[in-house]
Amino acid sequence: MNARQTLIRGGLVLVENARFAPVSLLIEAGRIAALIEDGDGPPDAQVIDATGRIIIPGLVNGHTHSHGALGRGGVADDATLETFLAGASALNGGRTVDDLRLSAELSAAEMIRKGCTACFDLSVELPGPSVAGIHAVAEAYHAAGMRAVVAPMISDRTIYQALPGLLEAFAPQMRAALAAITLPPWQDSLATCKAAFAAWPVPMDRVRPGIGPAIPLHCSDDFLTACAQLADALDLRLQTHLAETRMQQVAAMRRYGTTLTAHLHSLGVLSARFSGAHGVWLSADEAARLAGQGAGIVHNPLSNLRLGSGTAPVRALADAGVTLGIGTDASNTSDGQNMFEALRLAATLSRAGGDPPDTWIGALEAFRMATEGSARIMGLADVGRIAPGWAADMLFLDRDYCHYVPLRDVLSQIVFAENGAALREVMIAGRIVFSDNRVLTLDEPALATRVRAAAARLDAANTDTRVMAEAAATVVRSFCHAACAAASHP
């Protein structure tokens, strides 16, 4: 037996566009070596019997946060992005390097279970990044067998420094306490990132570094420019949260006198390496600027609904030529990382505004965003399609499951009905990492025990921070509401 070759036989495979065919797949060195229409393939290859399976490329999560997994359930019912950010240190503060690793393992386990084979992770460590913390997250993805861009999420302004006028909305005592919170100088954070990238702890083929200036308003201009220069110098992908809320555009007009994207453009930050997460409040001018620079936007429909951020103008962005991907955002802000849900919402939400059907996001268009689109944003040119030379990242769905009985339009039934319930196996780089309802690369029961203990310890340690955050949230909410109500744009 040639152990270096695997032959997947008997499956119904997505071979191009929306066309499925009963072909065999020859896998070698983590890649798809050939699609075999007739015949048996090499006699000495290891055989995987995929009879009764529908085989599609793995879903690619273009935007998430591994730290969110350990914060699951910790977001208030009525949280907006801004009140969530005001309380973020109560969820993410006080974590050890082991906690960061643990959260990334938990996050990876969830994504694999829900059919995601690669992700762009903006992972935060408070008050600032450490080499050990960045490496712990990279090691967690490597051990889980996932593909990932690990981009430390960094800022040099708190939300109180980021939003002009916010601090002044607080009573003096609270204002003084909030004004005293500071983040490390950006030069220190970037130096730490550089050191972490120079001594990258795992092979770069699956898990590679990126850079994540959190939100433009939360980063000084020199910092943003330095991040873009670092991305160019080291060939990294850069992702930020772009126009996630109307408040961000209102604050951009106050701080910059222009839109977020126009400001980033003037700084030279936009490029083919650049992607913005969310992009809910982008204008036509901003879409044109992004497209002109080859930049991307990652659509996070469920998170945008959960936090009341709005509905992204996906059709307008696509028509402008912006590269589009789909993401889940973190397990706290969208309460889970189910790429099948994100995929379905990307298609269905485009129909919610009463626009004509020829402007809706179709099943194939949404599916491409959730596979090749997100992969392009991650810088992965050979991920997201089942074709010779492409990565062997694939999902095996049970065609006897109710979603596929009867089976008429396979891709439509996947996009509009699948939620992960029919997922039986997951392959990443030619290796099966999920089978028999078990993630094979992680000890999930032991992980759950560690997670419960860590969450109890962190919740107890962060009690005072949480009380202060809840008090601050009331003022943040009314400030944002008044600022948006008073603005005549966008």
Beta carbon of residue 277, minimum distance to Zn ion (angstroms, whole number) = 5
Nearest Cα neighbor of 63 from 210, 174, 251 is 210
- Comparing CB distances to Zn ion, the nearer of 84 and 360 is 84
Q: Is the dihedral of CA 273, 88, 248, 245 positive or negative?
A: positive
- Determine the size of the site formed for Zn ion (CB under 5 A): 1
Give the binding range for Zn ion (CB under 5 A) out of 101-109, 162-170, 210-218, 328-336. Answer: 328-336
Q: Measured from the CB of residue 130, what is the shortest distance to Zn ion in angstroms? A: 21
* Region near Zn ion per CB under 5 A, out of 191-199, 248-256, 329-337, 356-364: 329-337
- Stated as kind and residue range, the H or E segment containing 302 is helix 301-306
- The distance of closest approach from Cβ of residue 303 to Zn ion in the complex, given in angstroms and rounded to an integer, is 7
Q: Is the CB of 22 or the CB of 308 nearer to Zn ion?
A: 308
- Longest alpha-carbon distance in the chain: 78
Asked if residue 306 lies in contact with residue 330, where contact means CB atoms within 8 angstroms, the answer is no
Q: DSSP characters for 353-406?
A: T---GGGSPPHHHHHHIIIIIHHHHHT-TT-SS-STTSB--EEEEETTSGGGSS
Contacts of residues 191-200 at CB distance under 8 Å and 24 or more positions apart, as own/partner, are 192/128, 192/129, 192/130, 192/131, 192/134, 192/152, 193/129, 193/134, 193/152, 193/154, 193/230, 194/230, 195/131, 196/129, 196/131, 196/134, 196/135, 196/152, 197/234, 197/236, 199/131, 199/135, 200/135, 200/138
Question: Please, what is the minimum distance in Å from the beta carbon of residue 457 to Zn ion?
Answer: 25
Q: Which is nearer to Zn ion, 115 or 279 (CB)?
A: 279
Find the binding residues for Zn ion in span 148-187 (CB under 5 A).
none
Reading the block at residue 408, the tokens are 């008429």
Which range, of 113-121, 327-335, 414-422, 448-456, touches Zn ion by CB under 5 A?
A: 327-335
**Pairing between strand 238-242 and 212-213?**
unpaired
Q: How far is the CB of 302 from Zn ion (least distance, A)?
A: 12
Shortest approach of Zn ion to residue 239 CB, angstroms? 9
Whose Cβ is closer to Zn ion: residue 137's or residue 422's? 137
85-93, 288-296, 322-330, 422-430 -> range binding Zn ion (CB under 5 A): 322-330
Whose Cβ is closer to Zn ion: residue 33's or residue 88's? 88
Between residues 11 and 336, which has the closer beta carbon with respect to Zn ion? 336
Taking the complex as a whole, the smallest distance from the CB of residue 241 to Zn ion amounts, in Å, to 5
Task: Return the residue nearest Zn ion (CB atom).
Answer: 329
Q: Which of the ranges 263-271, 321-329, 376-384, 459-467 carries the binding residues for Zn ion, by CB under 5 A?
A: 321-329
Q: Closest CB to Zn ion among 125 and 329?
A: 329
**Chain contacts with Zn ion (rule: CB under 5 A):** 329
